Amino acid sequence: MRHFYASHHSRLRGFVSRRMASRSADAEDVCQEIWLVFFVKYDTHVENYDDPVKVLFPIARCRLAEYWQKHSKSREAPVEGDDLTLLADAWTAAQRDAGEAACLRMDVMEALAALTPRQREALHLHYLDGLKVDETAPLMGISENTVKKLLKTARNRLRGSVRLGSYQTVPRPEEVDE
């Protein structure tokens, strides 16, 4: 249990913090509530799931929904405002020239804003929260294939965006021939 907590707490904390930006002081309390609920049935989770993380993040979503309901807010929207900035920053992190990075960041934010909320949510969960497709699907309440389709469509729309068309893509390290 200690090892599981130590290896997943920072990721859970980031997941919760991004969804509680205006109330970051409460984020750690919500995380501890999530861990309490999770560890009550830890043995069952380990026994029934190949990766217990698949249970942890749906519990987090439920606790976050309860938190926002208790504080008279509607369901949290995971990818808006500051989260668009996070996605844009993640996209532009490879740029070395500050001027070019600033322009690219603005263009990426506009391209991201043109995506559907579900596509942005899938990108956010997969790339910012670092969740695998099989972990993302239950959080979004859809199948793994639908998550893959959302991610593929979002990436294609970003690649085909008029705002991003003039930028040259940087190949991934595994794509570069030595």
Tens digit of each residue's pLDDT (9 = 90 or more) over 22-53: 566 788 888 889 998 888 888 888 888 777 88
| pLDDT at residue 102, as a whole number | 61
| pLDDT at residue 166, as a whole number | 62
CATH topology of domain 82-167: Arc Repressor Mutant, subunit A (1.10.10)
Instruction: Indicate the residue type of 118.
Output: R
45-49, 94-98, 144-148, 154-158: range with lowest mean pLDDT: 94-98
Averaged pLDDT of the chain: 75
CA distance readout (Å), 14 to 30, 60, 103, 114, 136: 12, 11, 27, 25, 15
Q: Looking at residues 130-156, what average pLDDT do you find?
A: 88
| pLDDT at residue 176, as a whole number | 45
pLDDT, tens only, 83-114? 555 566 655 555 545 455 566 667 777 888 88
| pLDDT at residue 58, as a whole number | 81
Task: With CA atoms as reference, report the closest residue to 158 among 121, 118, 120.
Answer: 120
Terminal Cα distance for the chain, rounded: 43
Please answer whether residues 154 and 115 qualify as being in contact, where contact means their C-beta atoms are separated by less than 8 angstroms: yes
| pLDDT at residue 27, as a whole number | 84
**Interatomic CA distance for residues 11 and 132, integer angstroms:** 13
Q: Looking at residues 49-74, what average pLDDT do you find?
A: 77
42-56, 65-79, 105-119, 156-170: range with lowest mean pLDDT: 65-79
Q: For residue 155, which phi and psi values (nearest 5 degrees)? A: -65, -40
**Interatomic CA distance for residues 34 and 174, integer angstroms:** 37
**Interatomic CA distance for residues 55 and 175, integer angstroms:** 34
Residues of the chain with CATH 1.10.10.10: 82-167
Number of neighbouring beta carbons within 10 Å of residue 63? 20
Q: Looking at residues 6-30, what average pLDDT do you find?
A: 79
Angle ∠(5,6,10) on CA atoms, nearest 5: 95
Reported confidence tier of residue 147, pLDDT bands at 50, 70, 90: very high
